[in-house]
Structure 1
Amino acid sequence: MTSNDIRFECRHRGDGGPFVIVPCIDGALLTELIDGFEIAAGMQPAGDAYGGLIPEFFRFGPMQDHFLGRSAYAMGPKAPVLGCECGEWGCWPLLARITATADLVIWDSFEQPHRKTREYAAFGPFQFGRGQYDDALRALNAVMGPDET
């Protein structure tokens, strides 16, 4: 399996609002990837439902731990990688199992917990080289600053 490339888009919501974090995989925002998958699969509702995570609205703990699957606030074995477009992650989250080893980080077993019948087996898995993944997390921390992570 070839490795995917990840970075974390981090920008202010609106005009000077809180930071919003959206994973970007192989150059595409995860919000766009999941919208395309759900629309193609005929899921309803679909399209423009997801948004990034907003650490200021919910204390995920250090984002480095969160995106390595070690968040104390994860929902069971899965962690939210996207929230709702409204800004509240619990409203319409996209969950993934995040498995980190010395060499790889894998995102798989995606789930929309409010629609248990939805099937995401064909979405992902995404496999990232650990060095590149850690670089992306360092870049995220540099943008957000120590107070936000």
Structure 2
Amino acid sequence: MAINKIQFDIQVQFPHPRRWLLAGILPIVRRDRVVPRIDGVPLTDLIDRFELDAGMQPAGGAYGGLIPAYSQSLRMDDHFHGRSTMATGSKTPVLVCECGEWGCWPLLAEITVTDDLVIWDCSEQPGRRTRDYGAFGPFRFDRNQYDDAVRDLSRPISSDIA
């Protein structure tokens, strides 16, 4: 059983064109996106490649990182341990639509936490129930490495969530 390595990239993004911001037309609102990276590859790239290789239509390019600021009750440590306020049944969004809305085109995974491992499995795209994501994953992470990555993620963005 292979053990994967996870990290979380924080991509700083401003939702409005820079020229509007410079002209003072719109307030500057920073919306950080969180993109999981598995074994050095962004999850957005992994799922795009999987969907394209599987011949899914539409495929690829629709996923973006999670924007924690869109949910004031969201805590990253709870979310990535499968205890999210944004969960759908037993599954947790690990990516959402590139538009940033949590209910728009999410990639869900069942997150199982044990003493030694964190496992992402049973991925699904609720907008396309007939798609088979059975071969996507499972991803198995060492619990200590995973907890460190989530802890590192929680520090820089925790002040942006209010």
TM-score range, shorter chain: over 0.9
Which residue does the alignment assign to 2:23? none
Query: Is contact 1:60–1:73 with CA below 8 Å preserved after alignment?
Result: no
Structure 2 distance, partners of 1:51, 1:35, is: 11
Root-mean-square deviation (CA, aligned residues, Å) is 1.5
Secondary structure of 1:135's counterpart equals helix
TM-score (norm 1): 0.94
1:97 and 2:121 equivalent?
no
Q: Give the 4+ runs in structure 1 shifted more than 3 A.
A: none
Secondary structure of 2:47's counterpart equals helix
Deviations 1:112-143 (A, max 9, x none): 00100000010000000000000101110122
Which residue does the alignment assign to 1:51? 64
Structure 1 distance, partners of 2:4, 2:73, is: 25
User: How far apart are 1:89 and its partner, in Å?
Assistant: 2.0
* Number of aligned residues: 149
Which residue does the alignment assign to 2:24? none
Query: Is contact 2:79–2:92 with CA below 8 Å preserved after alignment?
Result: yes
Q: How does 1:107-122 map to 2 (within 5 A)?
A: 107-122=120-135
Query: Is contact 1:104–1:127 with CA below 8 Å preserved after alignment?
Result: yes
Structure 2 distance, partners of 1:144, 1:94, is: 22
Query: Is contact 2:3–2:141 with CA below 8 Å preserved after alignment?
Result: yes
Which residue does the alignment assign to 2:9? 9
- Structure possessing the higher radius of gyration over alpha carbons: 2
State, as a whole percentage, how many aligned pairs show the same letter: 58
Secondary structure of 2:119's counterpart equals strand
Structure 1 distance, partners of 2:7, 2:43, is: 10
Query: Is contact 1:60–1:66 with CA below 8 Å preserved after alignment?
Result: no
User: How far apart are 1:102 and its partner, in Å?
Assistant: 1.0
Deviations 1:1-21 (A, max 9, x none): 021000010121146621100
**Structure 1 unaligned blocks of 5 or more:** none
User: How far apart are 1:72 and its partner, in Å?
Assistant: 2.8
Structure 1 distance, partners of 2:52, 2:70, is: 28
Q: How does 1:4-83 map to 2 (within 5 A)?
A: 4-14=4-14, 17-59=30-72, 61-83=74-96
Which residue does the alignment assign to 1:135? 148
User: How far apart are 1:71 and its partner, in Å?
Assistant: 1.2
Considering fraction of residues, name the structure with more helix: 2
